[in-house]
Amino acid sequence: MKTAGDIIAANKQEVWSISFKATVFEALQLMSEKNIGALPVRDKGNVVGIISERDYARKVVLLGKTSRETPVEAIMTPAAQMVTIQPGTSLEICMALMTEHHVRHLPVFAKERLLGIISSRDVVQAVIEEKSKVVDNLRDISDTLFTQRFDDHIAGGKG
């Protein structure tokens, strides 16, 4: 079974981040520009939280705040509350954590170093690819067995 590290390695994407002092609007601009749904929040290079589009919807729009005036630190999920994983975490565990904690993004850390963030879409896509390979392998085995049985039958075998 694939792991979170496999997804990070396959994507080879740069890890974008934003300062905790930036505005939510700036975070939204960066997420839109990079076509991502969440950003690590940093202070002096250290990850201090994460901000997502969902945070914006629930903690800015619905509360009548403005994205141009609200700082990222006011709506981010602090690092102590983030659900994080390690590169060796299986995709099954990733799905279980996302479901249990109602999150769509999991930061992947190797010790204190942020390697990247995987999304629920990344996980689902990897699982589908893996299952497709299993189905293809089973088809190949089935075709081989059918061909062998057919050949045996034609040749007068037990078939």
For 11-37, how does the pLDDT look when each residue is reduced to its tens digit (9 = 90+)?
Answer: 887 899 999 999 999 999 999 999 999
DSSP string, 21-71: TSBHHHHHHHHHHHT-SEEEEEETTEEEEEEEHHHHIIIIITTT--TTTSB
Q: What is the pLDDT of residue 69?
A: 96
Per-residue pLDDT, 138: 79
Where do the domains of the chain lie?
4-125
The model's pTM is: 0.81
What pLDDT score does 13 carry? 78
Q: How far apart are CA 157 and CA 31, in angstroms?
A: 65
Contact 104, 119 (CB under 8 A): yes
CATH architecture of 4-125: Roll (3.10)
88-144 pLDDT, tens digit per residue, is: 999 999 999 999 999 999 999 999 899 999 999 999 999 998 887 777 777 778 777
Contact 38, 49 (CB under 8 A): no
As beta bridge partners, residue 51 has 39
- Using the predicted structure, report yes or no on whether residue 155 has a pLDDT greater than 70: no
